[in-house]
Structure 1
Amino acid sequence: MRETAKKPSGRLRAVGVLGELILTAGILVLLFVAWELWYTNLSAARTSAAVTQNIQAQFAREAAQDSAGDAGSSSTAARPADQAPATVLHLQGQTFGVMYVPKFGQEWSRPITDGVGSEVLNELGVGHYPSTAMPGEVGNFAVAAHRQTHGQAFWDIDKLTDGDRIYVQTDQGYYTYRWTRTDVVSPQASEVLAAVPYEPGQQASKNVLTMTTCHPPYSTEMRMVAFAELESWQPLSAGAPAAIVETVEASLSASAGGG
C-alpha cells in the first residue's frame, strides 16, 4: 500500500518563504550596488563628455574670432595672475567652463556648472558654489564634485601634491592654479568657502581655487578639501597650456567627428 506524501508543515513553509524573500532582497541589494557603482558612473561620464565637447567647441569658435580680431596685437600674451580677467557670473545650472587635472589622468576633463545640487553633481561632474568667486576674480573660486559614483570626478583628489596644476578654461581663457595643500574637515566647516579660506570676513587679496568632496571614499562622514592658487592666465586665442594641449585637442576632435 502506497504511503501518502506528507505536506510540509506551516512552519517549514514559512521558513521557505522567508528564505526566498531574503534571497530576493540580496539580489536587489546587489543590483542597486551595481547601479550605484557602475551605471551612474557610465551615465555621468557620457553626459559629462558631451557637455565638455560642446562648450569646448564654443570656446574654439570664440578663440578663432579673437585671433582674427587681435592679429598682430600683443593681447594674446599671457598676463600675470593678478591681471587675469574675471569670468562673468552665469545663471544657476549653466555650464561656463572646463576643468583639467593632469594628475587625475591625461584625458581627465570635466565641465564646470554653476550650482552644487544633485542635478549638477550627479550628471555633469563639477559644480561651482554660487556664493563664491569666479575664475580670475580675487577671492575663493570654490567647487564640489563626487568622489565616488556619478562619475566620481574627484576620486584622486588625495593624490594632489607639490608641483601639480589644475587648469580652468572659460570664455575668458585658461587659468592655471598651483596646488598648495589638502585638508580633511567636517561637513559643517563652511569656513573653507570664505573669500579667505578659514578666515570669514577677511578681505581677499589672492585668487584661490577650493575643491571639495566627501571623505573617506564611500562615506559622507568628512570632507576632503584641496586648495590651489592662481599662477597664470592666457587668453583662448593663445591656445591651451602645454600640459593639456593633447586633452583639449582630442576632445575637440571627438566633437567635430560627432563623438
Structure 2
Amino acid sequence: MRERVERVPVVVQGRRGRRGRAARLVWGGAEAAVTCGLVLLLLVVHQLWWTNRQAREGAERQVRALEREWEGEGEGEGAWGSGQSDGGGSSDGGGSSGDAAAPESGGPGPDPAGQQRPAPRRQTVAAPAPRWDQAYAVLRIPRIGIRVPVAEGVSKSAVLNKGYVGHYPRTAQPGQGGNFALAGHRNTHGEPFRRINRLADGDEVVVETKRAVYTYVVDKVLTQTSARDSGVIRAVPRSLVKAGHGYSSPGYYITLTTCTPEYTSKYRLIVWGKLRSMRPR
C-alpha cells in the first residue's frame, strides 16, 4: 500500500510582492517627511509670528504702564535727579557718576551740545538703582517707529525675549556722562532693533524716564563687528576689532547693539549717538 505524500505549496515572491513592499516603504517615508515638515513649519510660525505678537503686545502694555505711573507721580516729584540720573547706580568706567541734567553745584551749566541750560529747581535724593530686569525707561526712535521699554540687564528670558531693550550693566544710565549702552533682538521676540540698520546721521533716539527726556542724535554706524567686541560699549565707545570706528574722547553717548546678518547671531551691528538735549518731565 502506497503512502500518500502531501505536497506543501511553495509561494514564489514575484515582482508584485517586491513592488508592494517598496510602495509601503515609500509611503511611510512620505508620511514621516510630511509630519516633520509640518512640525518645522509650526516652529517657524511660532518663532517668526507668535513670539513677535506676544512680545510686542507685552512691551506695549509695559510702556503704557510706565507712562501711567509717571503721570500719577509727576505732580508730587517737585524736581528731577541731582546726584545720579534715572536708574541711578554708578557706571564702572561709565564716566561721570553725576546726572548730566543736574550739576552737583545746583547752578546753570552747559549741556553736552555746548549750550546753556537752566538750573534745576532744587536738589533731590538720587534715584535708586533699577532692579535686575526692571523696566524703567522708554526708548523711542521716530525714524523706524520704535517705542519699547528699557529694562535693566540683557538676559534673554527676563528682558530681551519679552520684546524689551536691555541696558548693559555697568554702563552709564540715561543722561550720564559715559555710554548708555543697549541691546535688542533683531529677529523674533518683538524684534525691536529689526531696522536699526536704516538709521543715519542726524536721526533722533529719545529716552524717556520718570524724571527727564533725553534726546540723542545718531552719529556713527558700525555695520559689522565681532560679537566679542567689548570696546563698543565702553565709556568711550571704540571698536577693538575695526580700527578707526568709535570715539576718542569722553562724552555723553548712546550705543544700540543687535545681531547681524538677520536670523543669525554671528556678528554685531552697532549704532552710536551723542546726547543733544535733555528736559525735565
Structure 2 distance, partners of 1:88, 1:206, is 23
Task: Summarize the Cα distance change of 1:147–1:199 in structure 2 as closer, same or farther, 3 Å threshold.
Answer: closer
Q: Does structure 2 retain, via aligned residues, the 8 Å contact 1:87–1:172?
A: no
SS of aligned partner of 1:150: coil
Structure 1 distance, partners of 2:75, 2:128, is 20
Structure 2 distance, partners of 1:31, 1:79, is 58
Give the match for residue 63 of structure 2: 52
Deviation at 1:193, TM superposition (A): 1.1
2:120 maps to 1:111: no
Give the match for residue 240 of structure 1: none
| Cα displacement string for residues 227-258 of structure 1 (whole angstroms, at most 9, x for unaligned residues) | 0111111011xxxxxxxxxxxxxxxxxxxxxx
Q: Does structure 2 retain, via aligned residues, the 8 Å contact 1:87–1:171?
A: no
Give the match for residue 158 of structure 1: 197
SS of aligned partner of 1:27: helix
| Cα displacement string for residues 24-75 of structure 1 (whole angstroms, at most 9, x for unaligned residues) | 1111111111111110110001100111100111111222324xx47xxxx9
SS of aligned partner of 1:118: coil
Structure 1 distance, partners of 2:214, 2:128, is 14
Deviation at 1:20, TM superposition (A): 0.6
Give the match for residue 248 of structure 1: none
Structure 1 distance, partners of 2:191, 2:72, is 30
Query: Which of the two has greater helix per residue?
Result: 1
Task: Summarize the Cα distance change of 1:124–1:80 in structure 2 as closer, same or farther, 3 Å threshold.
Answer: farther
Structure 1 distance, partners of 2:32, 2:54, is 30
Give the match for residue 214 of structure 1: 259
Q: How does 1:99-248 map to 2 (within 5 A)?
A: 99-105=139-145, 108-119=146-157, 120-183=159-222, 184-198=224-238, 205-236=250-281
SS of aligned partner of 1:211: strand
Structure 1 distance, partners of 2:279, 2:109, is 6
Deviation at 1:89, TM superposition (A): 2.8
Which structure has more RCO (C-alpha within 8 Å, separation ≥ 6)? 1
Give the match for residue 97 of structure 1: 137
Which stretch of the first structure deviates more once superposed, 166-175 or 86-95?
86-95
Aligned length: 220
Root-mean-square deviation (CA, aligned residues, Å) is 2.6
Q: Does structure 1 retain, via aligned residues, the 8 Å contact 2:138–2:207?
A: yes
Structure 2 distance, partners of 1:121, 1:217, is 16
Which stretch of the first structure deviates more once superposed, 119-128 or 43-52?
119-128
Task: Indicate which of 9, 17, 20 corresponds to 1:9.
Answer: 20
SS of aligned partner of 2:162: coil
Give the match for residue 252 of structure 1: none
Quick one: which amino acid aligns to residue 172 of structure 1?
A: R
Q: Percent identity?
A: 34
Structure 2 distance, partners of 1:60, 1:79, is 28
Unaligned runs of 5+ in 1: 1-5, 237-259
SS of aligned partner of 2:205: strand
SS of aligned partner of 1:62: helix
SS of aligned partner of 1:234: strand
Q: Does structure 2 retain, via aligned residues, the 8 Å contact 1:195–1:204?
A: no
2:75 maps to 1:35: no
Task: Summarize the Cα distance change of 1:218–1:94 in structure 2 as closer, same or farther, 3 Å threshold.
Answer: same
TM-score (norm 2): 0.72
Q: Does structure 1 retain, via aligned residues, the 8 Å contact 2:227–2:267?
A: yes
Task: Summarize the Cα distance change of 1:88–1:192 in structure 2 as closer, same or farther, 3 Å threshold.
Answer: farther
TM-score (norm 1): 0.77
Q: Does structure 2 retain, via aligned residues, the 8 Å contact 1:87–1:134?
A: no
Task: Summarize the Cα distance change of 1:129–1:93 in structure 2 as closer, same or farther, 3 Å threshold.
Answer: same
